[in-house]
Structures are given as structure tokens and as C-alpha cells.
Structure 1
């Protein structure tokens, strides 16, 4: 009877995947608060949850497409299993590399259940780490060898902001220091 159950599960899984492909176009603007963060739209843009406070004081949440593109991912709503395995919050606002500074988060991100099973999240934080001048696999390796503090110090001390995807680069102006007197 086990082959029948396996066959049934396979057929149901195939149907679900086909139905999602046929009907499951992910449009960030149509996602609710519980599915927005860590989703990827049908055009490959990462969705971002934003909070707005209305004049009445009521908080309103909106989901929109960011300018950050996912690498080879489209139509993706992150699973609860990956959110939990990677130590993330389903209601996280915005997209930031700040969490890479927290050793507890980095441990969870680099853990086998997250790093080996959640390609969307690993891709996102790989890009965020690269924007800070850090190579995520090296950070995870350092995490395992207890050298993560040095890697995180590099993120903290870089002092430079990575240019956005549409930026032409960073140009620095040098101004003379004026005497306070």
C-alpha cells in the first residue's frame, strides 16, 4: 500500500505545482502582511513590507516590489519552515543587512537547515553581505570557526554604503577641514 500513497502524494504535488505555475502569479502589491516579506514577484523583484501610520494613528501595512532582483527566482512566497529555520520574522519591515551583525541570526542563517534548504533567503543575504563587502560563505565558515567577530567587525567598520542597483557608483569629495576657531 506504500506505493499507492507515494503515487498519490506525487500526483497531488505535481498538480499543486502545475496549478501554481498556471495561476500563481506573485504580484507584491497584492500580497498581505503575512506573505509579503521574503517573497519574490513574477518579474523577479523582491517584495518589501512597509508600515504607514495614518492620521488616525492606525498602522497600515503595504507590500510593494523593491528594486532588488532575486537571482533566478520568480513567483516565490517563502515557506514558514524557512522563515523559522533561518531565524527570520514574517513581519519584517524593509530589507537590511543589519541582521548580519547579530551573531545569533548569522548562526541560524549559516545553519544547515537554512543554508542548505532555503535558497531564496540565502540568495538575499548573499547579496546583502556582498553589498557590505563580505562574502557570505566566508562569513559562515568564520561562524563555524568562531572568527565571526572579525567578519562582523569588517561590516561595521566599512563605513561605505554600497551603491544601489541604479547608481553609477560612489564618488567622494574631499573638503578641507576647517579650524573650530
Structure 2
């Protein structure tokens, strides 16, 4: 009987640790740098990888909480599968809309494995695109049918690709302003 009690206590202890971990807060500053980029704190704010020079002059990295709020997600660390499928890198320091100028990036972001399965990354780039006057679903549609034309239109129109969404001026991070709803079949 004592053995059954010990097993019960052990199970209770293990489950309490698991519950505490599940209910614990995700704080950007507590994340290791290799999990920082594309994570969202429990507060709903995006985590951002930053670099700085230490006292010896070497570059080091730290995870910080940005002011960018994600309305539909919190306490989330992006999966390795999504990082790979979307063509992003956890080593990114800051995020920029310049990524759209690389056809390989846009193809990865618009691929079904990313666009339909990775709402955190798609949401981030949806807002960055909107800040440039680009409606991401329209860009992805053009990417599917004619990737070269999509890139040419993006460059020649100063960013506007069919159905441009109003949005704030682009910055390294665009605060999640009310964005137009994505087209059906996306997200």
C-alpha cells in the first residue's frame, strides 16, 4: 500500500509541475535567443531578437519584448516546422519588409505549407506588407500564377499589389493596426 501512495504522490507532483509550466507566463526576456524570433509573450506582445556589444566589444544577442501586439495569439513560440516552411530564420535581428524583395522568401511565405499552417508568421508579414501598401493575399495569388510578374508589380508600383490595404507607414515592425480581413482560403 505504501508503494501505491508513493506512486500517487509522484504522479501528483509531476502533474503539478506540468500544470505550473502550462500556466506559467511566457516572458520574452526569459527566452533563450534561439527561440526568441517569432515568439509571442503571454502579454500578446511580439518578442524581438536584439544585438548589442558587450564590454569586450563582442556582439551578443538578447530577447526583448516589442510594442507590437498580436491580437489573436499569446504565449506562443513558433514551431521549427513553420520557421522552415516560411523561409524565415530565428536569428533575424528585427524584421523588415525588405524580405518581400527576395522571390524565394515570398514563394516560401505564400506556399501552402506556410500560408495555411503558420498564422503567427503570416500575421506578422501580413502587417508588414500592409504597411507597404501591399495586400498579402493578392501578392500570394500573383506569386502562384506568375512569380516574376508579382515581383515586378511590387517594385514598379512602389509596393502596391492589387487590393492594397491601408496601413501605417512601414517600419521594422508595424504595430498590428486593424488590417483588412484576409481573403477566403487564407489563414
TM-score, normalization by structure 1:
0.74
Deviation at 1:145, TM superposition (A): 1.6
Mapping 1:6-155, distance limit 5 Å: 21-23=22-24, 25-146=25-146, 147-153=149-155, 154-155=157-158
Deviation at 1:60, TM superposition (A): 1.4
Residues in 2 aligned to 1:87 and 1:155: alpha-carbon distance in whole angstroms: 24
Deviation at 1:120, TM superposition (A): 0.3
Provide structure 2 residue ranges, at least 5 long, that are not aligned to the other structure.
Answer: 1-14, 161-167, 176-187
Residues in 1 aligned to 2:123 and 2:71: alpha-carbon distance in whole angstroms: 7
Relative contact order higher in (CA < 8 Å, ≥ 6 apart):
2
Would you say the 8 A contact 1:51–1:59 is kept in 2?
A: yes
Residues in 2 aligned to 1:151 and 1:71: alpha-carbon distance in whole angstroms: 30
Higher mean Cα deviation, 26-35 or 53-62?
53-62
Deviation at 1:55, TM superposition (A): 3.5
Deviation at 1:18, TM superposition (A): 6.1
Would you say the 8 A contact 1:142–1:151 is kept in 2?
A: no
Deviation at 1:151, TM superposition (A): 3.7
Residues in 2 aligned to 1:61 and 1:22: alpha-carbon distance in whole angstroms: 27
Residues in 1 aligned to 2:132 and 2:122: alpha-carbon distance in whole angstroms: 15
CA deviation profile, 1:106-144 (whole Å, cap 9, x unmatched): 000000100011010011000110011100000000101
Would you say the 8 A contact 2:128–2:170 is kept in 1?
A: no
Give SS of 1:34's match.
helix
Provide structure 1 residue ranges, at least 5 long, that are not aligned to the other structure.
Answer: 1-14, 166-181
Would you say the 8 A contact 2:97–2:170 is kept in 1?
A: no
Deviation at 1:148, TM superposition (A): 1.1
Would you say the 8 A contact 2:134–2:159 is kept in 1?
A: no
Would you say the 8 A contact 1:35–1:77 is kept in 2?
A: yes
- Tell me the number of residue pairs that the alignment of Structure 1 and Structure 2 aligns: 149
